[in-house]
Structure 1
């Protein structure tokens, strides 16, 4: 049960975003890296290729530069979180399905949820967030995908204000664009999203607000108000992501553990005897690889591709928090992006910090200040 927490409450940073990816530990996943993709173009009903603003495009824009890890299990090579040089930002959480027999809301769709993230990261840079929302929800872009929620938007400073352009939360539980929530358009706010429908504060109740979201927002608020410098802030944010309220018995099976995931920000690796056996076998293979290649665990992480595709997921080994990400965006548009890997490809634990990768860059177009959303 992944979690993403975002805030606009830090005085130095326009946006702070943190994320835990909870997944089968052995699911093959690349390290974060820069990669390029041709921007997606779309055709008007008359067949003429148009720009995102509706005007005829003379030529296609150049390749989009994207920073993300990539899921190597499915052919789409999607991701759960990413950002582009131009400031397109997206992070996704799955929707926890309680009825596994509901064909309208499949647990595993024919299309990858990770493709929803890359749909925005690969969008024409001229396309606005609102246009993307309408395209996805009214143009059938979310059909055939398992339940998900997607925070997405352009990281831009609003002209004449100490605010950023709002981010949208798209879900294929939305019937139309009018149901989409917008967040981060005002200073001093803290938001949380996990594996249920996002609710505004006025819609929340003790029954609908997951404990991990409540505690996550409180801990995030405390972290951004007390850290004195960037490294202390990053360390504090990783501490938030490490908050563990999961039961001490890690030998329960997934079905028994699922209801408990909403209580804990961090999910320690757990699973029944069969999943423990699979994990041990993978670790033994990893020890042989490390001995033969003389590599530390942090350097055995997958970076290329996986030969055996399993379209409905890699559901072997233990389940838990696999990756953690901290993103800081300051008022000059400078991004600090740090991803922490907690496990290598063979299920060997990586000591905290040894699996970190950090990227720093400046958002192109940040100074072309956006107008407020109407």
Structure 2
């Protein structure tokens, strides 16, 4: 159950994004890189591709990314806690194509106002309703415009500096009533506020990055059951920000498109920092696991791979 932290309330940054991707470790995934004519910076999912015409070439989706023009996106599975056990969140079209479609645009040629609602986005990309169930955060850094849309056709304006300058999003609907909010999002919002308060006089990227990854690594799963193969209890993933390696039953549907391998948990962590003048981007990815074998040797404090990128928004 992935999670996204987003804020514009830090006095020294225009935008801070913190993302955990919770997945099966064996799922084929490419680490973050520049791709699509070096216009998009993102990892991408190699387990499910989309055939594109007229060349019939393969295009892979992503869950998070940013482009050189300052458009940013992050998609999460939508799996509300009261979802019936037999309700699948899978769709005919990979939900990873939603952020890819948005990031493969140029803000100098089309305005964000052409994308700023579910209906407008669907006009640009008709496959929204045939994609897997999703929560989708996206926006344009230069115009300071951000939205969340979801499978139910809802649109939410976020990060608009009107008592709405931070949020924590997971696999529940954004407007879920307070009594049904997951512990991880409630705790996450409190920890995000603490991070901002603690670092409000700090502009050193390395220190901010350290604090962001510390937040992304908060784990409430009891020590005695971490790193042991056992049946995944969905309630565990509703509670903990960081999901340690958890075993699952073969073929079990826990809201993901593909079940592959024996262990599921937080596979990678990404932090994106945007400077206060909306020009400079620092993008850091920690890849914790890429196979079940990595459970014994790698962790949030000892990631398997580390990638850092710096660039200027055009």
User: If the TM-score is normalised by the length of the shorter chain, which range does it land in?
Assistant: 0.7 to 0.9
Question: Whole-Å Cα distance in 2 between the matches of residues 272 and 143 of structure 1?
Answer: 29
Question: Whole-Å Cα distance in 1 between the matches of residues 19 and 112 of structure 2?
Answer: 21
Is residue 73 from structure 1 mapped to residue 47 from structure 2 by the alignment?
Answer: yes
Residues 82-133 of structure 1, C-alpha deviation per residue, up to 9 Å, x if partnerless?
A: 000001100011011623545xxx4221100101110101134323333123
- Kept in 2, the 8 Å contact 1:251–1:273? The answer is no
What stretches of structure 1 of length at least 5 have no aligned partner? 37-62, 158-164, 276-310, 365-374
Is residue 92 from structure 1 mapped to residue 92 from structure 2 by the alignment?
Answer: no
* Secondary structure of the structure 2 residue equivalent to 1:70: strand
Hey, which bits of structure 1, 4+ residues long, moved more than 4 A?
A: 272-275
* Offset of residue 350 of structure 1: 3.0
Residues 167-205 of structure 1, C-alpha deviation per residue, up to 9 Å, x if partnerless?
A: 11011211xxxx410111217722010001102xxx641
Q: 1:96 to 1:121 in 2, by over 3 A?
A: same
Where does residue 107 of structure 1 map in the other structure? Answer: 89
Where does residue 137 of structure 1 map in the other structure? Answer: 122
Is residue 337 from structure 1 mapped to residue 287 from structure 2 by the alignment?
Answer: no
Question: Whole-Å Cα distance in 1 between the matches of residues 162 and 75 of structure 2?
Answer: 23
Where does residue 263 of structure 2 map in the other structure? Answer: 318
**TM value normalised by structure 1:** 0.70
Where does residue 194 of structure 2 map in the other structure? Answer: 222
* Offset of residue 314 of structure 1: 3.8
Q: 1:182 to 1:337 in 2, by over 3 A?
A: same
* Secondary structure of the structure 1 residue equivalent to 2:293: coil
Q: 1:322 to 1:156 in 2, by over 3 A?
A: same
Q: 1:222 to 1:187 in 2, by over 3 A?
A: farther
* Offset of residue 140 of structure 1: 3.2
* Offset of residue 312 of structure 1: 4.5
Question: Whole-Å Cα distance in 2 between the matches of residues 152 and 16 of structure 1?
Answer: 13
Where does residue 148 of structure 2 map in the other structure? Answer: 169
Where does residue 211 of structure 2 map in the other structure? Answer: 236
* Offset of residue 156 of structure 1: 1.2
Where does residue 54 of structure 2 map in the other structure? Answer: none
- Kept in 1, the 8 Å contact 2:69–2:106? The answer is no
Question: Whole-Å Cα distance in 2 between the matches of residues 243 and 167 of structure 1?
Answer: 27
Question: Whole-Å Cα distance in 1 between the matches of residues 21 and 133 of structure 2?
Answer: 16
Measured on the aligned residues, the alpha-carbon RMSD in Å equals 2.3
- Kept in 2, the 8 Å contact 1:81–1:91? The answer is yes
Residues 197-219 of structure 1, C-alpha deviation per residue, up to 9 Å, x if partnerless?
A: 102xxx641x2221111111111
Question: Whole-Å Cα distance in 2 between the matches of residues 147 and 186 of structure 1?
Answer: 28
Is residue 252 from structure 1 mapped to residue 241 from structure 2 by the alignment?
Answer: no
Where does residue 120 of structure 1 map in the other structure? Answer: 102
The structure richer in strand per residue is 2
Counterparts of 1:242-321 in structure 2 under 5 Å?
242-248=217-223, 249=225, 250-254=228-232, 257-272=233-248, 312-321=257-266
- Kept in 2, the 8 Å contact 1:9–1:187? The answer is no
**TM value normalised by structure 2:** 0.83
